[in-house]
Amino acid sequence: MPVSLPAIPAIVTGSLASQHAFPYLTWLILAPIIGAVLVVALPKDLVRLIRSITYLSSLAVLGITAAVIDQFSTKLAGYQMTSTHEWAPGLGISWSIGVDGISLFLVALTAVLFPLALYGVAPSRNVKAYSTWMLLLETGCLGSFVSLDLMLFFLFFELTLIPVYFLIASWGHEGRNRAAMRFFIYTFVGSAVLLVGAIALAFLHQAQTGVLTFSIPQLEMTRLSGTEGVLLFLAFTFAFAVKAPIWPFHTWSPDAYAEAPASGSIILGGVMAKLGTYGIIRFDLGFFPHATTMLAPIFLTLGVIGIIYGGMVAARQRNLKRLVAYSSLSHMGFIVLGAFALTGASVSGAVLQMVNHGLYTAALFLLVAMIYRRRKTFEVSRLRGLQNLAPVMAGIFTVVMLASIGLPGLNGFIGEFLILSGTFTAHRWWAVVAVTGVVISAVYMLWAYQQVFHGKVTEDERAAAFPEISPRERLVLVPIVVLIVFLGVYPKPVLDRIEPSVNQLVTHVLQIDHATPSAAYHSSVSLKLGK
């Protein structure tokens, strides 16, 4: 380029930790892409080879994730294993990735759920396209969680839409086209607003510092006036509220969850919903602390409404998959509640609950898919007495169900307890109302279990074979159950890694808030989680 252009300052900042020796995270993103490229290059008849490559690349992600967790230091609150390369400097975009306590276990969740979803519920037709879309989706999810550049995040966030659209529209159930369309339009409208908001934020930052950058740590330093903060907060939150989904932006989700193929539901409910709440914690709290504290009561209320509404609607469902979908919606309300309660405990709880929710929602969708595979129906009224036919499955279902209800000793309890206790210290009444959601979830879950697994089996039903859980299915479900129990009994290693980052974030929110006049309100809130 012969024309000399103005020099663009380097984007790497002091707040990022030193460059790591081996670019684990870059390979984390590349592994599924490489798999996808290989799959695309193969002829579609080599189904077995395609499947093996898909499994291998998703397992490679799992391996890299294990190494990342191993390397992750519990001492540091900031981003670790960062790597930054200029990408489109003129536009302020850079390839900047890293993990902290908030994103680490979401990466792990993604890395765990994808191989299980791929292995557990693969459709038999058009394996090549299916594998490609799933691997691309995995890239999108992982990339979103590890991006330290807002525009890079947006790119990956968008990248997830296309595979999900095709997964629903090509492999879904009867209402798939409509569901896929609604999913796509809702979420795309959300991200359209997000893009404008993100660009506006970057330009406000540029006006203050003279540097055009989308680097997340840098943008957190932007000082915004009240109106700017609120408008940008709403632009960001709208996108994430649709994705999460937060009531009343949820209307696309029950259809999409219910009509998606099993793997689609697992990823939608298990991983992609977390993109929304992750976005809220990472961006709303990080970029707009003042607006967040100001508008938190509204979103706390929406969270509580979501909990109660999701629970009530779930209780009325006669379709098992829709019941799980609405229960997922209801439990996402807890995460929203924890995120907007803005105490160390509640936000830590929200982050932990994202992982927990991902695990048991995925397990529930897997179990529902296994029942469907045997009986070709989701109707509760047409299922009965499965306990006699498949006791092991019933046992696993019980564990997962109890985890989702929040039974102490299983993972759901820890997260919800932290959220509710954290919320209680700051926003008592919201917490009190939210607790009823736990009761409602116990009601519909136990009802569903009773209907499906208890009861007498007629001769006809016995004749229509309902085979016990197969070794392959066992291989899929057992890891999740192990994780559910492990996290329920011994969450310390996870919390140790989550808390430093969360505490730093909450301090950031409250500090900025102190700078403004209306802040005394939060000063009594304890920041530290009692250890």
Residues of this chain that bind other proteins (CB under 8 A): 1-3, 5, 40, 44, 87-91, 125-126, 129, 151, 155-156, 158-159, 162, 165-166, 169-170, 181, 184-185, 188-189, 192-193, 195-196, 199-200, 202-203
Q: Are 315 and 388 in contact (CB under 8 A)?
A: no
Burial 111-124 (b: 16+ CB within 10 A, else e): bbbbbbbbbbbbee
CA 277 to chain CA centroid, nearest Å: 7
Q: Are 148 and 103 in contact (CB under 8 A)?
A: no
Closer Cβ to other proteins, 44 or 472, answer by number: 44
CB of 211 to other proteins, least distance (A): 14
Minimum distance, C-beta of residue 155 to other proteins, in the bound complex (Å):
4
> How far apart are CB 101 and other proteins at their closest, in Å?
27
Beta bridge partners of 84: 96
Buried b (16+ CB within 10 A) or exposed e, 350-378: bbbbbbbbbbbbbbbbbbbbbbbebbeeb
Q: How far apart are CA 344 and CA 507, in angstroms?
A: 9
Taking Cα atoms as reference points, which of 424, 444, 242, 214 lies closest to residue 327? 444
CB-CB contact of 453 with 386 (8 Å): yes
* Nearer residue to other proteins within complex by CB, 37 or 443: 37
Contact 103, 22 (CB under 8 A): no
We find the least distance from the C-beta atom of residue 136 to other proteins, in angstroms, to be: 11
- What is the three-class DSSP state of 130? helix
Report the distance separating Cα 314 and Cα 316, nearest Å: 5
Distance of alpha carbon 158 from alpha carbon 192, whole angstroms: 10
Residue 490 beta carbon to other proteins: minimum distance, rounded to whole angstroms: 39
- The minimum distance between CB 367 and other proteins, in angstroms, equals 27
The Cα 531–Cα 528 span in angstroms is 8
How many Å apart are CA 349 and CA 495, to the nearest integer? Answer: 9
Residue among 331, 323, 395 at smallest CA distance from 360:
331
The residue type found at 388 is N
290 and 366 in contact (C-beta within 8 Å)? no
Which one, 230 or 312, has the nearer CB to other proteins?
230
Pick the closer one to other proteins by CB: 67 or 129. 129
Residue 498 CB, nearest distance to other proteins (Å)? Answer: 29
Q: Is the CB of residue 333 less than 8 Å from the CB of residue 434?
A: yes
Closest to other proteins by CB, 17 or 234: 234
CB of 406 to other proteins, least distance (A): 37
CB nearer to other proteins: give 170 or 387. Answer: 170
Name the nearest CA neighbour of 246 among 333, 313, 183: 333
88 or 446: CB nearest other proteins? 88
CA R_g for the chain: 23
342 contacts 285 by C-beta, under 8 angstroms: yes
Q: How far apart are CB 171 and other proteins at their closest, in Å?
A: 9
Q: How far apart are CA 277 and CA 268, in angstroms?
A: 13
We find the least distance from the C-beta atom of residue 87 to other proteins, in angstroms, to be 8
Cis, bond preceding 248 (omega within 30 deg of 0): yes
To other proteins, the closest distance from the beta carbon of 95 in angstroms equals: 10
Q: With respect to other proteins, which residue has the nearer C-beta, 119 or 156?
A: 156
Nearest residue (CB) to other proteins, 275 versus 452: 275
